[in-house]
Structure 1
Amino acid sequence: MNTVYASVEPGRAEVDTLHGPTLVEFGTPWCGHCRAAQPLIAGALAGHEGLRHLKIEDGSGRRLGRSFGVKLWPTLIFLRDGKEVARVVRPTTQGAIDDALARQGLTPSRKT
């Protein structure tokens, strides 16, 4: 899991060509909703080492967030091969994120 928001965003064309499962998380480090969601996101992503996680700082003038129609933070967009399969806006439970991961066909790998 990425813990720092990238200040330089990839282009939409680059994101659309990513292969495999990807989570694009939009937010900011100063957003209270974003900070509150971090433990939920971390818990849900535990055991999903194969999931690409792009954590993108969003805001006015940021094209990638606008191209996905992001209006509230955090917004989690789950992609498979560049196509959106699920979206969670302002998660308040880990279960909402787990459900989105399951829609992507992902189940956590558990170490025994």
Structure 2
Amino acid sequence: MAMTTHYATSEPPRADIDDLAGPTVVEFGTGWCGFCRAAQPLIAQAFHDHPDVRHLKIEDGSGRPLGRSFRVKLWPTLVFMLDGKEVARLVRPGDASEIRDALSLIDEPLSH
């Protein structure tokens, strides 16, 4: 697995997300969102040492049930989950270290 680069326009049901085993990051946003675009290099940096973390990038918007089930209000919102349970959440992350810290809560970083 690796960082996903495009937002999926179709979203899985919440029950499918809750049933995922292992570490998962669900990222909510859109391709046209300036905050989302600005966060991509930071997310990529942080994911570099966590290649086994599942990354689901979901396009969000008004009336989208998955984002509403996670109470997403601002983009990007990153939800860090382990075995279907939310462990941490970042809204509009400002640097890679805070993303790395949240990833470390759900996954052991690779040692170089």
TM normalised by structure 1 equals: 0.94
TM normalised by structure 2 equals: 0.94
Q: How many residues align?
A: 110
Q: Gaps spanning 5+ residues in structure 2: where?
A: none
Given the alignment of the two structures, is residue 81 of structure 1 paired with residue 83 of structure 2, yes or no? yes
Give the superposed CA RMSD. Answer: 0.9
Quote how far apart the aligned CAs of 1:95 are: 1.0
Q: Gaps spanning 5+ residues in structure 1: where?
A: none
Task: Give the Cα–Cα distance (whole angstroms) in 2 for the partners of residues 34 and 64 of structure 1.
Answer: 18
Question: Which structure 1 residue ranges, 4+ long, deviate > 6 Å from structure 2?
Answer: none
Quote how far apart the aligned CAs of 1:81 are: 0.5
AA matched with 1:108: P
For residue 107 of structure 1, what is the aligned residue in structure 2? 108
Task: Give the Cα–Cα distance (whole angstroms) in 1 for the partners of residues 28 and 111 of structure 2.
Answer: 27
AA matched with 1:20: G
Partner of 2:110: helix, strand, or coil? coil
Query: More displaced, 45-54 or 65-74?
Result: 45-54
Task: Give the Cα–Cα distance (whole angstroms) in 2 for the partners of residues 40 and 4 of structure 1.
Answer: 15
